[in-house]
Structure 1
């Protein structure tokens, strides 16, 4: 600030000489007042600029925080969608292979271990079946609740009903075809026979009958289950 330096030098001269003439006072005082006013203006401008910079910095911080939050939400959503897509593709692929499980189950029921050759076939079958089960388990495949569990229209396809007062109404009595899930996703429902009791039953048994299955009595032939499974 050249003007301020000049005023200071002139003030020193006055102090050193202890002499103040009238012309000096007439010029020095207004100049000093003008310089002080200019300094005050600069200080106000600097304060306003600092306040503006502080506000700008605050806005930048807020934008950064929002950007980080948006990116984190995007990352989580992308990961969730990726896992859902993987589960869908895995389920579609496995559903194409499930008839192999059905064929193994059917062969197991029909195989009679009476000769040495049949025993060897059964041993080979058990080894292959175990490998297949372990493979499916590694992919996250799990069986739906089976015999003895309550009928669930979200997991079971009731194709037959049978009078049975020894178990709670709407209990799965027989499983004609296994159902499977991957996590919370149903790959296919189980085909089951469901119990009902004398008199009107609760919604579970009526749902099972509503699936298109025929009612059967206590003497319903068990072969009906194998026929349904083979279809």
Structure 2
């Protein structure tokens, strides 16, 4: 059973007054008002659709802006981290030449008093280069005794031997280097193979 509350007296009187007013209005005007109301409702619906579409476009634009910002931040971080890459590649040849100079001095000349100062200077320079490499995240790639890693080693020749498993690096012809987590220069190596 439904409770029906009587309408307040004022509301009933307003409804009666409105009905009286509408009695004198021609039917054509009432239909026109209905058409205008329908038109206004359609316009409101269209505006709501446009508003929703605009909200979606704003969300997409915000997401794209955020993606661009993240990419730029990564590019800036990479530029800072790897700015010295070109210079580091160039200076590797200087390091190689110092190592070759030290390796080329025979043992009997190392004891010569006249050459000790020169050799000490070359060794100090080589140590200083290694220290600077370390400060800038440049590290030497381990090679001899390890399996060939095509991401870090460049096989220059195969060496027949029974002393190592095939595919193992047995000789390093030129040292390889990494700068942080990127390859700066691959190590040039000789790889073991089974003798014929």
Q: TM-score range by the shorter chain?
A: 0.5 to 0.7
Which of 166, 188, 196 matches 1:191?
A: 188
Q: Which residue does the alignment assign to 1:144?
A: 141
Gaps of 5+ in 1: 1-7, 13-24, 200-231
**Which residue in 2 is equivalent to 1:93?**
87
User: Paired residue for 2:99, among 97, 101, 105?
Assistant: 105
CA drift of 1:61 comes to 0.9
Q: Matches of 2:51 and 2:127 in 1, distance apart?
A: 65
Aligned position for 2:23: 29
Query: In 2 relative to 1, CA 49–176 (structure 1 residues): closer, same or farther, beyond 3 Å?
Result: same
| Residues 187, 178 of structure 1: alpha-carbon distance in 2 compared, 3 angstrom cutoff | same
Alignment of 1:13-162 (within 5 A): 29-31=23-25, 37=31, 40-80=34-74, 90-110=84-104, 112=107, 114=111, 124-162=121-159
What's the secondary structure of 1:101's corresponding residue?
helix
Going from structure 1 to structure 2, the CA distance change for 1:29 and 1:195 (only over 3 Å counts) comes to same
Which residue, 173, 177, 184 being the options, matches 1:176? 173
Q: How many residues align?
A: 178
3-state SS of 2:143 partner: coil
Counterpart Cα distance in 2 of 1:45 and 1:190: 78
SS in 1 for 2:25: helix
TM-score, reference length from structure 2: 0.67
Q: Gapped runs of 5+ residues in structure 2?
A: 1-13
